[in-house]
A = this chain, B = another copy of it.
Amino acid sequence: MQRTNFSAMACSIARTLDVIGEPWSPLVLRDVYAGFTRFEQIQADLGISRKVLTERLNHLIEQGVIERRPYDRRPRFEYVLTEKGAELVDLLMVMVGWGDKWLAGQAGPPVLYRHRACGEISSVDLRCAHCGEPMHAGDVELLPGPGARTEGGRG
């Protein structure tokens, strides 16, 4: 095998990478989320090779992140997010937050996000699900969980 399969690792990061870690996959997911739901649309928007797009779409379907649905009596299909996929898009929003802060430069963010609940242009903030206070990587302590492997533990 030339690309290592991470799913064997006892690590949720590695496992998540096996779902969307391949090149283009997050951008394909973004496109489906943003309304580019058909093969030709995604291909044209991203400039991705048709061969690779086929592979990525099939993989995302296998992983239960998107679904393939006919939209015509002709063989025409659109891809839609599952619930699992919609929650994965949250990850993309965090990528956007980081990229906007550290990589956007003078031009500023390419895309703005309006929070419908309050109507304001905003961004995501990470909070502790328990106490509601800010929770960042530096604010936590790692402990082995029930799914940890005792020997050879990665992660």
Contact = CB atoms under 8 A, between A and B. Distances in A.
A47 B107 contact: no
A88 to B, nearest CB: 6
A76 interface: no
Contact of A135 (B13, B124, B141): B124
A1 interface: no
Interface in A91-130: 91-105, 107-118, 120-130
B16 A110 contact: no
Interface string A120-150: 1111111111111111111111111111110
Interface string A3-41: 110100011111111010101101100100110000000
